[in-house]
Amino acid sequence: MNNLSAAFQRAISNYGNFNGRASRSAFWWWVLAVILVLLVTRIIDGALIAPVLGFGAFEPNAGQPLSVLVSLGLLLPNLAVGARRLHDIGRTGWWLLIGLVPLIGTLVLIYFYIQPSESGANQFGEPDVFP
């Protein structure tokens, strides 16, 4: 649980920082933290906000306003952590744009994200040290 909270705090503290590197473990802990946060917001949307808006609990057409707001708030940190992860394997953050290509782009990014970090310094800085 320490790694999860540390990854979340590190990414939020570097909210819009696209410089530097993010280790593989820091990136994947961040991904897990975002998934858990979005899961909690969806539960809150379904159980609490949908009935307040006049819909049944967990009704599909009730919308998820809290989840949308949280997703928008996490968009910039997600892009920044993704760019820093790409820097860690020696690629520029512009490779994130390949994610706009349906399916193939996502698969390419996942492949990049699971690659081991470059040892030593590269053009993006020193390696990220994450517990």
Residue 105 within a domain = yes
Q: What is the span of the domain harbouring residue 102?
A: 2-113
pLDDT at residue 131, as a whole number:
66
DSSP-assigned states of every residue in 30-52: HHHHHHHHHHHHHHHIIIIIHHH
**Count of the separate structural domains present in the chain:** 1
Residue 104 within a domain = yes
Exposed (0-12), middle (13-18) or buried (19+): which is 72, by Cβ within 10 Å?
exposed
| Burial letters 101-127, b for 16+ CB under 10 A, else e | eeeeeeeebeebbeeebbeeebebeeb
Q: Which helix (H) or strand (E) holds 85?
A: helix 65-88
Residue 75 within a domain = yes
* Amino acid in position 52: V
User: What tens-digit pLDDT sequence spans the chain (131 residues)?
Assistant: 677 888 788 888 888 889 999 999 999 999 999 999 999 999 999 999 999 988 988 988 888 999 999 999 999 999 999 999 999 999 999 999 999 999 999 999 999 999 999 999 999 999 988 76
pLDDT at residue 101, as a whole number:
96
pLDDT at residue 102, as a whole number:
95
Q: The whole model's pTM is what? A: 0.88
Residue 16 within a domain = yes
pLDDT at residue 72, as a whole number:
96
In tens, the pLDDT along 78-91 reads 999 999 999 999 99
